Amino acid sequence: MANTKSSLKRAEIAERNRLRNKAYKSAVKTLMKKYINAVAVYTANPTPELKQEAQVRLSEAYAKIDKATKRGVLHPNNGARKKSRLANKLKPLTQAVAQ
């Protein structure tokens, strides 16, 4: 256990930051799952409305990933990798429908 006043304060700050980081990471995972589900629904029945829904979910996930990266919760390469993987889920489907 921390003894000095400064080490007690650092422990409190570390706990506060840990909880904030946990919230960001949880939100990123939730938005990624919602996007993947939207893509799965679009794959089963490709309509313009479902494609639009997937695009909206993608932009929400991108925004949260970018914000987490900016705040230092995610490493920049980690954020870029997550965004790339999300984009690659929808890319083959939109190309197949366009042809």
Instruction: Please report where in the chains the tokens 């939207």 appear, as a residue.
Output: 38
Angle between the N-to-C axes of helices 5-44 and 48-71, in degrees from 0 to 180, rounded to the nearest 10? 160
pLDDT of 98: 56
User: Cα–Cα distance between 81 and 69 in angstroms, integer?
Assistant: 12
For range 1-11, the mean pLDDT: 89
**Residue 45, token pair as written in the block:** 């029945």
For range 28-49, the mean pLDDT: 94
Q: Express each pLDDT in 59-89 by its tens digit.
A: 999 999 999 999 999 999 999 999 999 999 9
For range 41-63, the mean pLDDT: 94
DSSP-H helix ranges across 1-99: 5-44, 48-71, 76-98
Q: 99 falls in which pLDDT band (50, 70, 90)?
A: low
